[in-house]
Amino acid sequence: GIQPTRCHQIFDLVHDLQIDRHAVVGRNVDLHGIVSAQAIRVWLANLY
């Protein structure tokens, strides 16, 4: 199973991504941020 500490790390990471997404509004899109977000979604999907 997934360890609780790992779940907390994932939630913190997703939370940080959401903050970053709001931070880039009105500015150039951060391509690296988009790629990272997509990679994390794929990684999360592979956990289940």
20 and 33 Cβ atoms separated by less than 8 Å? yes
| pLDDT confidence band for 14 (50 / 70 / 90) | confident
The token pair that represents 2 in the structure block: 């997934």
Q: What local confidence, expressed as pLDDT, does residue 32 receive?
A: 57
| pLDDT confidence band for 20 (50 / 70 / 90) | low
pTM of the model: 0.32
Instruction: Kindly state the percentage of the chain with pLDDT values over 70.
Output: 56
The token pair that represents 14 in the structure block: 């997703």
| pLDDT confidence band for 16 (50 / 70 / 90) | confident
Characterize 7-32 residue by residue with b for buried, 16 or more Cβ atoms within 10 angstroms of its Cβ, and e for exposed. eeeeeeeeeeeeeeeeeeeeeeeeee
Mean pLDDT of the residues in the chain: 70
